[in-house]
Structure 1
């Protein structure tokens, strides 16, 4: 494999990782602050993608589509929290799983009823449709490079929010002792709604951004949700830094594994078998990574030690 091809695959892994981070950051905030297992988080990713595709088709504005996806998913998340989720905080995790799984079905059938079963397509904006010449002779799509930049900017913004703002102080306090901050006069219900809306908005933004490089269709959020759970297990529940590092590790492992493992198997078998084995083992590599991290550190890379 040429160094240029390897560098391009590394960039692809980074792009995949930062998009996973947008999903996992909201999920780890929700679980860390509320202790809630939200299987419907992937549905909010889908909501953002469909909102962006619809608005872009009507207005032709990609920026307006992103804003609508962020706002629409945040609003959907806030309504979900007020109507359904807040009734689950005192329930055990099995009830939370069952209720949020029901929400997946409601969102999926509602989206199919509103938009039909055929996929929608979100075009890459003209100002990001070309390629960028990087050092070393690497030619890389401008849009994918922009996705990496957006993900890193969001990561810095979340760090600032969590570490430098009053809301961040309340979020961190809510993770440690929600009864105490409620006793100190913080409206815990409003805090939960804000955190849930923030996580939902990030998921919707991720769906809109990815919608320009793949089709927008019903059920597109569930495979990403599984990977997001892997990310927060690797990074540590409740840690934004852990979500970012875990997402980058998962993105790079999945992308590089799909390229390097077939080349490795070519040393032992024919090209056709090597491609089949490489594809199978690259899918397993992410979960092997997760198992290795949990053996070494059961709370995740940046999770609090019990």
Structure 2
């Protein structure tokens, strides 16, 4: 299971990731399946780097429990392989700017303040275009995973002045917030969304989850419920180890399928079809509307590759 989460501040020169290929086990964190003998990568194995988003990885993890035929259960993963690095994305989705979704941001604003001695500033309008994101690193068998994801807040009884100190950041207790409609059911932790919550927060090593129940008018009139993430899988029909193993299986499938690809524009589209109960593949060769790597990133990869020879 995920033991530690390493966060990187990408705007500092000293924190730019070094050329890939280090076999030093101290540079890796571990995402272990239940039958792993060790959390350390094998010294003689060839490491494989995957760059992704947390949402993309969590969508893969929940597929084993999304077997009912439904468009909602269908999942699409786009992949590009370039300079020996596998890039995966689920970027083709519609951002939800509905009234219901804005409740989540307002709830988050109400829960967090800028310091332990301050009260939350709820007078400011919520900016839906601003997100606090982290970059995470972990390992899964032969794969090194680096992915981005949104963060909610931290629990701290002291003011944190230096947010550039990576050692301090990785010792903080991170917490997340979610909202549900108040349907009158008391078993909030049996909601079907718990699986998606767990997968998303597990990848970021979030310690606790706070859930509010909103009425039809958007107000929360009952106490917010809090639960440790490690306790969320208890008494559920889904099993964390199955989710992690399926992620490993899917990464192996994508890597093996694209082993001969080395193009920044070619995209392989892997689609989980819940109606057909299978993974379908569509290839978009060359530069198309599906190409998702930026020209700036491609140019940096080319320069880094030429410097290594």
| TM-score interval for Structure 1 and Structure 2 normalised by the shorter chain | under 0.3
Question: Greater strand share, 1 or 2?
Answer: 2
Q: Normalising to structure 1: TM-score of the pair?
A: 0.26
Higher relative contact order (CA 8 A, sep 6+): 1
